[in-house]
């Protein structure tokens, strides 16, 4: 229902793109033609599928304008039904509480949370006038809606189902929110690095302490006096959910944590090789999981609640694959026929190696994977590697430093930057001529200004810097949450939190390690690319770009 009570102004380019992208991504394969969906109202709102399984159709100026997924209400009014704001264009909320509320002449009469674009003085809709608005484009006062508002061809049964679904969006208070407290959790898996764990928790604990010490209105984003009158200053409370035992038990542990103390969102977090049980838990329980520190994020086209800064080592695999497929511009000018990958069994590099192998095999390139057991030495794994055209190392700093015991490979070598420590990778000097790093962040000189503020904040609070990227990413996640909540004012709906982060992210100036962060419908990875870097002359200690910014 794009623009049910909105569309009075032309969509800016970003909203048009988001709507078009959503139309592609939201096609629901389980609604086969003629097969009735389980929830007709939800199917109309989210997928543009009518109760009989056929695509919803909408007309504009008497002509068919959109059909099926392109006609889904959430394309513009969003999954939450709370609308969106882009520049001067406002898509108002259509959750039932905003449509049916009585007119209010002053803020004291309002019983609904503040949302940009809410119509506070309009006559309330009834089910009959709302049906007329959807079918004919006439509002509750008998006036035409915005000229971009299509008219929808819905049966009485479908209309009843859709209005019923809008009533389910009437959520007065999310779990994890009280009159005085906002509850958040951070999740740590058993295989998380203990050094990174301490660094992340230091940042989170100090940030929460600072936030709770700040007076109401201290956030620069709150400049609107209208917003301020709806704002309630709530204390932030952090709950650390430590997981134990094998991954198949983690979801049960998380359900126990959530039952004991509901939280509004999961913030940051730290994982090792396997984050999938946490990701699946957040999706199933509809809890936003905001930018966890994980090297192997979960890839899924249809998940909504999980956001990541990047695809981690999976992105690195794509960066390396792109270079290997283009031998003329890589460290080795000869065509690549065989690639050898070395990684520790069970570590993050295993997933990356599998992804790279699958990509290269499609190009007819032979890939050999060598999984090192726990006690194996890297020098032993390199024996017999001379037959390969390219060597890919998915290794941690101790294994990389141990390469000093082996002669340097004479072929092109690619190293995981994330696993190896980025520009602090301890690669022995005699390996650096042929080595290239996959580098899914901005270059040191490019990110310096963007991370200096965070490191200055760490210094003032005497936070030891034990892992620069993890701590900078954690600080960035905290800042994004604080800024988003200030714009949400008092409308604490989990879906709305995710949507507001989507909308605001591209306007963020301080983006830490990443040159740019953007999200759109169907996207869960905010940074899309990276570099291949080499070690510069004369000391081979400084990294410089050996490629343009690559978006695979």
In this predicted structure, the answer to whether residue 156 has a pLDDT above a threshold of 50 is: yes
Q: What is the pLDDT of residue 105?
A: 73
Burial class of residue 116, CB neighbours in 10 A (0-12, 13-18, 19+): buried
Please report the DSSP string for 452-494 in residue order: HHHHHHHHHTT---S-HHHHHHHHHHHHHHHHHHHHHTT---H
Q: What is the pLDDT of residue 149?
A: 80
Q: How confident is the model at residue 14 (pLDDT cuts 50, 70, 90)?
A: very low
Q: What is the pLDDT of residue 335?
A: 84
Fold for 181-308+445-507, please state it. Answer: Rossmann fold (3.40.50)
**Mean pLDDT score across all residues of the chain:** 88
- Is the omega angle on the peptide bond into residue 473 within 30 degrees of 0, that is, cis? no
Q: How confident is the model at residue 92 (pLDDT cuts 50, 70, 90)?
A: confident
pLDDT digits (tens, 9 = 90+) for 427-462: 999 999 999 999 999 999 999 999 999 999 999 999
Question: Is there a contact between 367 and 341 (Cβ–Cβ < 8 Å)?
Answer: yes
Q: How confident is the model at residue 383 (pLDDT cuts 50, 70, 90)?
A: confident
Q: What is the pLDDT of residue 333?
A: 59
Q: How confident is the model at residue 9 (pLDDT cuts 50, 70, 90)?
A: very low
Q: What is the pLDDT of residue 22?
A: 38
Q: How many other CB atoms are found less than 10 A from the CB of residue 29? A: 7
In this predicted structure, the answer to whether residue 26 has a pLDDT above a threshold of 80 is: no
Question: Is there a contact between 217 and 228 (Cβ–Cβ < 8 Å)?
Answer: yes
- Residue extents of the structural domains in the chain: 13-168, 181-308+445-507, 313-439+531-545
Q: What is the pLDDT of residue 61?
A: 80
pLDDT digits (tens, 9 = 90+) for 63-85: 888 999 999 999 989 999 999 87
Q: What is the pLDDT of residue 226?
A: 47
Please report the DSSP string for 170-190 in residue order: --SS-TTB-SSEEEEEEEE-T
Q: How confident is the model at residue 107 (pLDDT cuts 50, 70, 90)?
A: low
Rounded to two decimals, the pTM is: 0.89
Q: How confident is the model at residue 216 (pLDDT cuts 50, 70, 90)?
A: low
181-308+445-507 matches 313-439+531-545 in fold:
yes
Backbone phi, psi, residue 263, to 5°: -125, 155
**Domain 313-439+531-545, CATH homologous superfamily name and number:** Response regulator (3.40.50.2300)
Q: What is the pLDDT of residue 223?
A: 44
Q: What is the pLDDT of residue 127?
A: 96
In this predicted structure, the answer to whether residue 267 has a pLDDT above a threshold of 70 is: yes
Lowest-pLDDT range, 131-140, 168-177, 294-303, 377-386?
168-177
Q: What is the pLDDT of residue 37?
A: 43
Mean pLDDT of 183-211: 98
In this predicted structure, the answer to whether residue 215 has a pLDDT above a threshold of 90 is: no
Token representation of residue 293: 């520190």
Nearest of 456, 420, 455, 465 to residue 440 by alpha carbon: 420
In this predicted structure, the answer to whether residue 340 has a pLDDT above a threshold of 90 is: yes
Nearest of 173, 191, 170 to residue 182 by alpha carbon: 173
Mean pLDDT of 468-485: 97
Q: How far is CA 97 from CA 112, 139, 172, in A?
A: 7, 16, 9
In this predicted structure, the answer to whether residue 301 has a pLDDT above a threshold of 60 is: yes
Q: How confident is the model at residue 405 (pLDDT cuts 50, 70, 90)?
A: confident
Question: Is there a contact between 40 and 154 (Cβ–Cβ < 8 Å)?
Answer: no
Cα–Cα distance for residue pair 205/216, rounded to 1 Å: 20
Mean pLDDT of 219-223: 46
Q: What is the CA radius of gyration of the chain?
A: 26
pLDDT digits (tens, 9 = 90+) for 114-125: 888 888 888 999
In this predicted structure, the answer to whether residue 16 has a pLDDT above a threshold of 50 is: no
Lowest-pLDDT range, 30-34, 350-354, 485-489?
30-34
Instruction: Lay out the sheet containing 366-372: strands in order across.
Output: 366-372, 338-344, 390-394, 412-416, 435-439, 531-535, 543-545
Q: How far is CA 160 from CA 2, 307, 445, in A?
A: 18, 34, 58
Q: Residue written as tokens 């209309």?
A: 159
């Amino acid at each position: 229902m794009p623009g049910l009570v909105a569309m009075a102004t032309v969509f800016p380019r970003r909203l048009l793109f988001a709507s078009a992208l959503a139309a592609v991504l939201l096609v629901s394969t389980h609604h086969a033609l003629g097969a009735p969906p389980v929830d007709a109202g939800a199917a109309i709102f989210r997928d543009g599928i009518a109760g009989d399984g056929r695509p919803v159709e909408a007309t504009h100026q008497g002509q068919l304008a959109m059909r099926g997924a392109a006609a889904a209400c959430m394309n513009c009014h969003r999954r939450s039904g709370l609308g969106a704001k882009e520049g001067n264009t406002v898509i108002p909320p259509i959750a039932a509480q905003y449509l049916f509320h009585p007119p209010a002449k002053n803020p004291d009469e309002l019983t609904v949370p503040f949302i940009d674009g809410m119509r506070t003085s309009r006559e309330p809709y009834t089910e009959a006038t709302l049906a007329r608005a959807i079918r004919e484009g006439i509002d509750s006062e008998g006036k035409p809606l915005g000229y971009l508002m299509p008219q929808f061809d819905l049966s009485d049964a479908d209309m009843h189902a859709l209005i019923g679904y809008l009533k389910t969006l009437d959520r007065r208070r999310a779990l994890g929110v009280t009159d005085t407290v906002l509850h958040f959790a951070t999740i740590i898996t058993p295989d998380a690095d203990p050094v990174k764990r301490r660094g992340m928790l230091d940042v989170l604990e100090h940030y929460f302490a600072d936030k709770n010490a700040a007076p109401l209105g201290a956030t620069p984003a709150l400049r609107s006096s209208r917003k301020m009158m709806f704002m309630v200053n709530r204390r932030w409370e952090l709950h650390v959910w430590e997981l134990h035992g094998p991954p198949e038990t983690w979801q049960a542990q998380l359900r126990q944590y959530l039952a004991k103390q509901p939280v509004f969102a999961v913030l940051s977090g730290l994982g090792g090789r396997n984050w999938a049980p946490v990701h699946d838990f957040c999706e199933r329980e509809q809890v936003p999981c905001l930018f966890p520190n994980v090297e192997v994020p979960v890839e899924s086209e249809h998940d909504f609640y999980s956001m990541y800064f990047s695809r981690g080592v999976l992105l690195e695999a794509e960066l390396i694959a792109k270079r290997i497929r283009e031998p003329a511009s890589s460290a080795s000018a000869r065509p690549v026929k065989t690639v050898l990958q070395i990684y520790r069994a069970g570590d993050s590099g295993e997933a990356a190696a599998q992804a790279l192998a699958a990509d290269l095999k499609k190009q007819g390139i032979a890939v050999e994977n060598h999984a090192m057991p726990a006690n194996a030495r890297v020098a032993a794994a390199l024996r017999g590697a001379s037959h390969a055209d390219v060597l890919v190392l998915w290794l941690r700093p101790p294994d990389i430093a141990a390469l000093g015991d082996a002669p340097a490979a004479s072929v092109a070598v690619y190293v995981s930057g994330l696993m190896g420590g980025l520009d602090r990778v301890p690669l022995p000097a005699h390996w650096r001529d042929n080595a290239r790093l996959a580098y899914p962040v901005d270059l040191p000189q490019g990110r310096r200004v963007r991370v200096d503020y965070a490191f200055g904040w760490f210094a003032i609070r005497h936070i030891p810097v034990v892992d620069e990227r993890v701590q900078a990413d954690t600080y960035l996640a905290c800042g994004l949450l604080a800024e988003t909540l200030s714009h949400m004012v008092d409308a604490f709906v989990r879906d709305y939190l995710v949507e507001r982060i989507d909308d605001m992210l591209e306007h963020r100036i301080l983006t830490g390690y990443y040159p740019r962060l953007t999200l759109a419908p169907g996207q869960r990875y905010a940074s899309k690319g990276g570099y291949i870097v080499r070690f510069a002359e004369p000391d081979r200690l400084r990294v410089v770009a050996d490629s343009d910014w690559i978006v695979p």
